[in-house]
């Protein structure tokens, strides 16, 4: 019997986590499933009664005394695993009856031995498909995103997210979304896990790129489906969330783009992009978005000066 450990990083996810665990407990099949929850110092009630005796599911809970970030917490959970497969799953998801069975049968097929990472079809609450696959970032695409050039010149600048494809078919892709990120544990160990410099955002992109460099593909499997809320615990902290996104993008650039391109990205991020984001907040007449941009760039400037970790 093949085994899978599901690693869930929790941070103030409230009722999302309970619904996610319940959906896992209802899965049936010839698979040994266990769950590892790594809690990043939540201050809400998301862990209360999470180990309900009515949920017949092997469950391990690791509590951190501070928020260590997504990548670090995933590594902590993976270090506790001895299963054949690792599934990194967002707490704002709910699995369908076929989610794990379809994905593991696919990876177990000898014809798919070059597939190291598998993603699922993400569904919104109304059942519509949420496009979730992306291309690997490159300097041209990233800089174009800063200026919105994909919208002005769509034939010249492709979007990083693969929104031109309806996500109804199976396909080899560069990257699947980290909300459902299934991979062979042996590959995870070979790659040394997530790069913990990425507190949140870009950590799964970096891991997918490193897997690709080793000859492993990522695969989008539409036959496996999950419900995904999206936004989850970050929707109420937009400013901080934007800061971490921008910081991770800069770190990714210096890791994979080369010094010159990464420095151009850094300059554009610090000097030009703040104004385009502020203008956009004025267009949408969103005070919350405007204040979020100010908070994000204040944190980013302090980080660049070494005053904010």
* pLDDT tens digits for range 160-184: 888 888 999 999 999 999 999 999 9
pLDDT tens by residue, 53-72: 667 789 999 999 999 999 99
Interval 121-143 mean pLDDT: 91
Lowest mean pLDDT among 65-74, 83-92, 266-275: 266-275
Residue 160 belongs to a domain? no
Q: Indicate whether 224 and 243 sit together in one domain.
A: no
Output helix, strand, coil percentages for the chain, rounded to the nearest 5.
Answer: 40, 20, 35
Residue 108 confidence (pLDDT)? 96
Give the domain CATH number at 13. 3.90.550.10
Confidence class for position 135, pLDDT limits 50, 70, 90: very high
Q: Indicate whether 287 and 182 sit together in one domain.
A: no
Number of domains in the chain: 2
Residue 156 belongs to a domain? no
Question: 296: domain range?
Answer: 234-304
Residue 30 has pLDDT above 90, yes or no: no
Interval 154-160 mean pLDDT: 72
pLDDT tens by residue, 186-234: 999 999 999 999 999 999 999 999 999 999 999 999 999 999 987 655 5
Q: Indicate whether 193 and 83 sit together in one domain.
A: yes
- Percent of the chain residues topping a pLDDT of 70: 94
Going through 96-232 in order, the beta strands assigned E by DSSP cover 115-123, 129-130, 133-134, 171-173, 175-176, 180-184, 217-228
Confidence class for position 82, pLDDT limits 50, 70, 90: very high
Give the N- to C-terminal CA distance of the chain in Å, as an integer.
44
């Amino acid at each position: 019997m093949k085994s899978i450990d599901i690693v869930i990083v929790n941070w103030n996810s409230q009722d999302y986590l309970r619904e996610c665990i319940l959906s896992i407990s209802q899965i049936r099949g010839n698979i040994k499933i266990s769950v590892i929850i790594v809690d990043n110092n939540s201050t809400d009630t998301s862990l209360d009664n999470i180990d309900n005796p009515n949920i017949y599911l092997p469950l391990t809970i690791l509590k951190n005394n501070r928020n260590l970030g997504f990548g670090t917490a995933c590594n902590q959970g993976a270090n506790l695993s001895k299963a054949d497969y690792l599934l990194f799953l967002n707490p704002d998801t709910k699995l369908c009856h076929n989610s794990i069975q379809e994905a593991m049968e696919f990876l177990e097929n000898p014809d798919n031995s070059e597939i190291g990472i598998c993603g699922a079809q993400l569904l919104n609450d109304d059942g519509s498909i949420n496009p979730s696959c992306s291309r690997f970032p490159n300097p041209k695409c990233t800089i174009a995103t800063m200026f919105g050039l994909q919208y002005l010149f769509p034939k010249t600048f492709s979007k990083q997210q693969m929104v031109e494809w309806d996500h109804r078919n199976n396909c080899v892709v560069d990257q699947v979304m980290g909300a459902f990120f299934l991979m062979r544990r042996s590959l995870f160990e070979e790659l040394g896990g997530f790069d913990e410099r990425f507190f949140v955002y870009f950590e799964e992109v970096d891991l997918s790129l490193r897997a690709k460099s080793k000859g492993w593909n990522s695969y989008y499997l539409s036959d496996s489906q999950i419900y995904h809320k999206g936004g989850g615990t970050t929707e109420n902290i937009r400013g901080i969330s934007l800061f971490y996104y921008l910081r991770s993008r800069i770190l990714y650039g210096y890791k994979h783009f080369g010094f010159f391109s990464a420095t151009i990205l850094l300059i554009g991020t610090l000097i030009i992009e703040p104004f385009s984001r502020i203008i956009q907040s004025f267009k949408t007449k969103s005070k919350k978005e405007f204040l979020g941009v100010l908070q994000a760039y204040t944190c980013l400037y302090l980080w660049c000066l070494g005053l904010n970790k």
